Structure 1
Amino acid sequence: MLSNALLRLGTGAARRPWRVIAAWLVAAVLAVLAAVAFGGRNADSMTAPGLDSQRAARLIERAGTGQEGMTAQVVVTPLDGAATFLGHDGARTALTRLQAEVGRLPHVLGTSDPAGALDAGGDTAVRGGLVSADGRIAVVRVQYPDQSRLSAEDLDALVGLGERLRAELPLRIEMGGSLFYAFSEPAGGASELIGLLAAATILFLAFGSLVAAALPIGMAVFGLTVGVATMTVLAGVTDVPTFAPVLGSMVGLGVGIDYALFVLTGHREYLARGLGPREAAGRAVATAGRPVVFAGGTVVVSILGLAVADVPFMTVGGLAVSIVVLTMVAASVTLLPAFLGAAGPRLARAGRIARALRRGRPGRPPRRRDRATGATGAAGWRRWIGHVGRHPVLYAVGAAGLLLTAALPVLGLRVGLPDDGSLPPSRTERRAYDLVAQGFGPGTNGPLVVAADPAGDPGVVERITVMLAADPGIASVAPAHIDRATGIATVVVFPTTGPQEKATADTVARLRTDVLPAAIGPGQARAHVGGAAASLSDVGERTSRRLPVVVIAVLAVSFLLLMPVFRSVLVPLKAVLLNLLSIGAAYGVMVAVFQWGWGGALIGLETTVPIVSFIPMFLFAILFGLSMDYEVFLLSRVREEYLRTGDNGTAIVEGVSRTARTITSAALIMVAVFLSFAVADDPSTKMFGLGLATAILIDATVVRMVLVPATMTLLGRANWWLPSWLDRILPRGPVGTDGTDGTDGTDGTDGTDGDDAADGADGESTVGAPRPRPADR
């Protein structure tokens, strides 16, 4: 039985705390050493099987033009406002030197030649897209090999050269390109620290003890170290996307501290009942640990459901994040009870400073405790839940209407990828982007690469070039490059619109469906549109098309997992529908902030951007799993009360009120952690942070404290309806569904509300209480 196994595991860890802590320390050291020895760098492979952009990439690779590798661009303009590269010898000489020194950097395969084009004539340089029409801006495009042969040292060398030449040449020098995207340090370090500090503050106020606040933080840091190091080892085997460590840190910190909070709450409640620290730790793991294991498993199942999308980098990213979540679950049931055993009885009471803060001022008499209910602060929650229960239709309709209204902006959802133009002006990539857009047009920042195999038709390449130049969405076409060995031609074209604009995606679609088929004709020749902008457009279309499949798969699996847990058909159905509402509202907020610009300045958003193509799918999988955490914790207690009393109304009031403070505290911690990432520079990190924080906030307040009690009141005894034939074949659920916890006959979650645990007082015990079997079961 799961509870007995967790009881033995938690009690053993609490009795031998230093051995367990030492084992985790060794595991962390070994994981870090393995990451250093065998780990790889994260790499973004934004493609998927069967996409046209992937076919183009394969042709480019066969041609050996080097265009399949990494790129960078160095954008320069004279510091003298009156000088131009067309007529100023000093500016041209400086450009020649810069171009030569960039070409000598390690691993550089070659550069464009604006200086040579200027020597051939200003018109040549302008027509080639190397110098702007006014002569003020020049671009040196730098070609590197593929990412597997490069490292952060190559980026450091380029940046270091720029810093040195800025001091020596009369030029303003800015840089950008895929080399920066691949090897810039990912956002997260400062955000993680801010999130930890915010979580520590909330934990201290909730538990009133520095020791109690420190233990979940310490456990989360251990778990995050092991999880992220393991993710790095995985990157040595396959391409782990660059967003995975940031997302893993975000989710890992959130769920790790949350899980620890629930176990710690149960531990303090058992201490208040008079149990010793070791026995209390074991029983806390046996009771709260079961929902932790189930909730963590639900998160992992939801995330791994991304495999249905058939987008490899998303599947690997989901696997990497799942590793962190599983590590946090393991730490919650082993490392945390070891910490609790080592801390001893000090966790049973709040410190003097915390007690003074909670009471308002030193010397104030303690709050009067209601012995009938065994709680103080929970009385407020009981009044609120009772009020909702007396007006269920009003609150159900009002809350559902509010969430549906918040979700309306989803109808205008536009996926894409924010480019360097969405970065803050303090970044050189943003300044380079602006200079290129100013001098050459916005489409120059997102060139397309058309790869064609003529298949023996000598006129194909010329027809393709002519028809590409005639398309209204194309600003200019570079001369075709034909590989002599394979005959494959590559043509770089520059759209009239920026890489994140919908018009660019429309241009890509038009080239594929109209322009290229007309140029190729009925022969055996073939042509495909590639490049970063086309690849991201393709991935966006694939994820949008597969999102409903992922949603249905995750909903179905979650429903099937929850049905045996709560011995009900309607409770899991209601759970998945309400989770959809909160996630839809979070999507709506994201659209309003990032696409419409509402409140974007509050999180440092410089300009409106499309929603990153893969984020809605990732957010759904993660948020659905996290929402189920609270669903399991809350409904386990409601189910326990229903089995104890046989009264649906009492079960709702008692179950929700007794878990309300713990759930809201846990949600507040998660929101604080996620919001700390919403202020990062990278727009993708902002989207993850804001989307996760918004959904968790809505879920823990509007859904759990309004919609859940209102809908359960309306459903009445039907909440627990389960056909007898289905009851016989379903396995028994692991989360307190039989009215016992497998240890002492108390509740199946944390045994009490958060106030009792924090105040160090007895909660209402259900030991030995009669547990009638309701008639409808």
Structure 2
Amino acid sequence: MASRLYAWARWMVRRRRWVIATWILLLAVVGGLGATLHGKTSTEFTIPGVEAQEAQDLLKAKFPPAAGGVVRIVVAAPEGRTVTEPGQQQVLDRVLRKAADVEGVVDVSRPAENGAVSGDRTIAYSDVRFEDEAPEVTEEAKEELAAAVEPLRDAGMQVELGGSAMLPQTEAGGPAELVGVVIAFVVLAVALGSIVAAGLPLLTALLGVAVGLLGTMFVSGFVEMTGTATVLALMIGLAVGIDYALFVISRHREQLADPDTSWEESIARATATAGGAVVFAGATVVIALAALAVTGIPFLTIMGLAGAGTVLIAVLVAISLLPAVLGVFGERMRPRRRKSARENRAAGSWGLAWARTVTRAPAVVLLAGVLGLLALALPARDLRLGLPSYAAQPEASTQHKSYDLLSEGFGPGFNATLVTVVDTEHIPQDRREGAVTRLRDTLVADRNVAAVSPSVPNRSGDVVVMAVVPKSSPDAEATTDLVHRMRDQAPEVAAAGGALYVTGQTAMAIDVADKLGDALPLFIGVIVLLALLLLAIAFRSVLVPLKAALGFLLSVGASLGASVWVFQQGHLNGLLDVSAVGPVTSFLPILLTGVLFGLAMDYEVFLVSRMREDYEHTKDAAGAIARGVSSSARVVVAAALIMVAVFGGFVFNDDPIVKAIGFSLAFGVFIDAFVVRMTLVPAAMALLGRRAWSMPGWLDRLLPDVDIEGARLPAAAPAASADRPATEENRRETATRV
């Protein structure tokens, strides 16, 4: 692979203007398609085949009004007054009549007629039901409805909007995310020792992310895609795009420190070696994200493919656009000669000192590191999965305020209302009422049920709906237990000839969590096997992949433990602006496993490939560890800090799902890079010694030899014999150095 990338890079450098123009043209074309043919991103996480979704499909087919999206208008009277006073009631009636005229609305409930007034008469709500399902309710309709309720505020009442149709769109690109990019630039400037060199990774990464995001927007016109998928693509694409460019540029400038190395030769070699590691590491990220498809969950599959697409583009940018851009800068990328004694200190000296410290007592380091990571992972024993309720939305949002008002007026379980759907088509008509009544009596008697609405049949009478209000909140474990007890009544209903379903937002979140929880062990197994295979190919070793896979599992465990500690147990809520504690986002463990696997393999490949490269030349196992860490520590540390900064910026996003993803990835990368790769890996390699690089002969013959270390590259050509004409442009390039 290294030989092919070497020739490829020289071709890219010599045709650099055409390469750059091609990427700009690609950006323009994909941008045009994404801007004009994009679709609407979804705010819901649903899984075909789970019971809650089957119930929704049944309602859509046989009871359309019950399947429509709802905007719930929640009203609180001014202090010292009630919502039932004549003046307040008149304003509310006028607003509700106006709400009924909003396009797509099929029904507006009246609080006084439906028992939707709190016991102290200070809070009331009205459900505005749309013809379309919740994800299909247009933003224009919701904005029109928001404008229609303004007279209530003018009358002194507090008005907030909730309901299934009010899930906010996931957005990114705020000030917090930009701070992460600024921190990344500072890290790049320190790591590369040049402002110009620091700007190149950002420039190429932003172009690659733009192509990836605009392409994702174009695809959203043909497949249903959640807003979280686009944010994930931005998050991962930006982080790996910067890191991959950093690896290549760092290697390029390291080689240019030798005045006898021509800049064109250096670009080709950097692309062949560091670029080869980029290709291999990028492939692991792409495969890991694409492997989310094995879960069989559509929204997670699309999310993984969107992230994989942006990573693939980042790899292509690093081995095509970046060499071309480096060719434009030419000699100006050569670092200045160091003059002071401190500046002349051997490059990587602190990395060498760290490696020697870690390998001095490797068994002690390994034991302490593993025990520390297991301690961080302990909270994961209490892991509960779910989807965030409106309580997790920012405290200033109307969704969060509506949640609080409903909890205050009607109890914490009101926001967890469950919908019981009974298909009575195959129950004899004279027995339908009795079967539904017996079910309702059973539900009313449950210890965690606060209220059960009267049964409401559809026009043909073959589908009956009842609303069940729990005593516990949507995120409480008691509510999950209630859903399971309700579904335990299905055999009795089936014995009468009917079918029982439980649905609603809370039930859907529970079903999604259960499905994802069941898929997690299979996904982790696939990822671990994938790690073993890919690293065995890369390093011609059996023990190195085993060590890498175990380290990866420790990183995932520590990150999950930290996520449970923060988001489920409520620590650091004020610092991280977490509005409410609750279950960990249901797809976070699978997503974290896939993404962190790819990124962990990045650092494993870049760190161990330098050890392998040194070992191939010296056959000195102990020295190869020290020199490998010394030569790669600076760039790995910088890359990890960039990842942490980029992911950490998303921790302050208002969306609770994005916040949780950003935190878990930032923490996971930090632990994996600094504890596992920079500390435990050298210690483990020291214990393994020469055995680390051994492989059975039959397996060595079976696996392909990819040569990511560049062992078979031709000898370096000196600067004087660089294969390019000495044009006036070249002389101008030589005149200035960074």
Distance (whole Å) between structure 2 residues aligned to residue 418 and residue 269 of structure 1: 47
CA positional deviation for 1:50: 3.3
After superposition, residues 659-698 of structure 1 pair within 5 angstroms as 659-698=632-671
Q: What residue number does 2:189 align with?
A: 204
CA positional deviation for 1:147: 5.2
Match status 1:648 vs 2:647: no
What is the letter of the counterpart of residue 304 of structure 1?
A: A
CA positional deviation for 1:75: 0.7
Any conservation in 2 of the 1:295–1:628 contact (CA below 8 Å)? yes
Distance change (3 Å), C-alpha of 1:401 and 1:690: same
Distance change (3 Å), C-alpha of 1:385 and 1:149: closer
Any conservation in 1 of the 2:421–2:464 contact (CA below 8 Å)? yes
Q: What residue number does 2:543 align with?
A: 570
Given candidates 551, 560, 572, the residue that maps to 2:524 is 551
Q: CA deviation digits over 1:421-457, x for unaligned, max 9?
A: 1223211111111001100112221221111111233
Q: What residue number does 1:770 align with?
A: none
3-state SS of 1:33 partner: helix
Given candidates 141, 151, 155, the residue that maps to 1:154 is 141
Any conservation in 1 of the 2:42–2:224 contact (CA below 8 Å)? yes
Any conservation in 1 of the 2:284–2:601 contact (CA below 8 Å)? yes
CA positional deviation for 1:166: 5.1
Distance change (3 Å), C-alpha of 1:645 and 1:46: same
Given candidates 553, 556, 559, the residue that maps to 1:586 is 559
What is the letter of the counterpart of residue 739 of structure 1?
A: A
CA positional deviation for 1:42: 1.4
Given candidates 326, 332, 338, the residue that maps to 1:340 is 326
CA positional deviation for 1:276: 3.9
What is the letter of the counterpart of residue 85 of structure 1?
A: V
CA positional deviation for 1:168: 3.0
What is the letter of the counterpart of residue 456 of structure 1?
A: I
Q: Which runs of 5+ in 2 are unaligned?
A: 719-738
Q: What residue number does 2:127 align with?
A: 141
Q: What residue number does 1:772 align with?
A: none
Q: What residue number does 1:484 align with?
A: 459
Q: CA deviation digits over 1:139-192, x for unaligned, max 9?
A: 111222125644332333233334x435533321111233331x5352443343
Residue range with higher mean Cα deviation, 478-487 or 26-35: 478-487
Distance change (3 Å), C-alpha of 1:350 and 1:613: farther
Distance (whole Å) between structure 2 residues aligned to residue 64 and residue 84 of structure 1: 35
3-state SS of 1:67 partner: helix
After superposition, residues 250-649 of structure 1 pair within 5 angstroms as 250-274=235-259, 275-349=261-335, 365-367=340-342, 369=344, 375-376=346-347, 378-454=348-424, 455-457=426-428, 458-459=432-433, 460-485=435-460, 487-513=462-488, 515-518=489-492, 520=493, 522-649=495-622
Q: CA deviation digits over 1:173-220, x for unaligned, max 9?
A: 111233331x53524433432221111121122223221111111111
Distance change (3 Å), C-alpha of 1:13 and 1:469: same
Distance change (3 Å), C-alpha of 1:393 and 1:534: same
3-state SS of 1:47 partner: coil
3-state SS of 2:465 partner: strand
3-state SS of 2:517 partner: helix
Any conservation in 2 of the 1:24–1:335 contact (CA below 8 Å)? yes
Distance change (3 Å), C-alpha of 1:547 and 1:702: same
Distance change (3 Å), C-alpha of 1:701 and 1:741: farther
Q: TM-score w.r.t. structure 2 length?
A: 0.92
Distance change (3 Å), C-alpha of 1:205 and 1:480: same
Any conservation in 2 of the 1:286–1:743 contact (CA below 8 Å)? no
After superposition, residues 26-105 of structure 1 pair within 5 angstroms as 26-79=25-78, 81-86=79-84, 88-105=85-102
Q: Percent identity?
A: 38
Q: What residue number does 2:224 align with?
A: 239
CA positional deviation for 1:574: 0.6
Distance (whole Å) between structure 1 residues aligned to residue 227 and residue 24 of structure 2: 27
Any conservation in 1 of the 2:174–2:653 contact (CA below 8 Å)? no
CA positional deviation for 1:503: 0.9
CA positional deviation for 1:478: 2.1
What is the letter of the counterpart of residue 287 of structure 1?
A: T
CA positional deviation for 1:610: 1.4
Any conservation in 2 of the 1:220–1:253 contact (CA below 8 Å)? yes
Q: CA deviation digits over 1:312-367, x for unaligned, max 9?
A: 2111111111111111111111122222122232222369xxx9xxxxxxxx9451
Q: What residue number does 1:706 align with?
A: 679
CA positional deviation for 1:693: 0.7
Q: Which runs of 5+ in 1 are unaligned?
A: 118-124, 356-363, 747-777
Distance change (3 Å), C-alpha of 1:368 and 1:445: closer
Distance (whole Å) between structure 2 residues aligned to residue 600 and residue 94 of structure 1: 39
Distance (whole Å) between structure 2 residues aligned to residue 379 and residue 575 of structure 1: 25
After superposition, residues 110-189 of structure 1 pair within 5 angstroms as 110-115=107-112, 117=113, 125=114, 128=115, 130-144=116-130, 145-146=132-133, 149-162=136-149, 164-165=150-151, 168-181=154-167, 183-189=168-174
How much is the aligned-residue C-alpha RMSD, in angstroms? 2.1
Q: What residue number does 2:14 align with?
A: 15
Distance (whole Å) between structure 1 residues aligned to residue 309 and residue 452 of structure 2: 46
Any conservation in 2 of the 1:3–1:742 contact (CA below 8 Å)? no
Distance (whole Å) between structure 2 residues aligned to residue 151 and residue 218 of structure 1: 36
CA positional deviation for 1:743: 7.0
Distance (whole Å) between structure 1 residues aligned to residue 44 and residue 657 of structure 2: 16
Q: What residue number does 1:24 align with?
A: 23
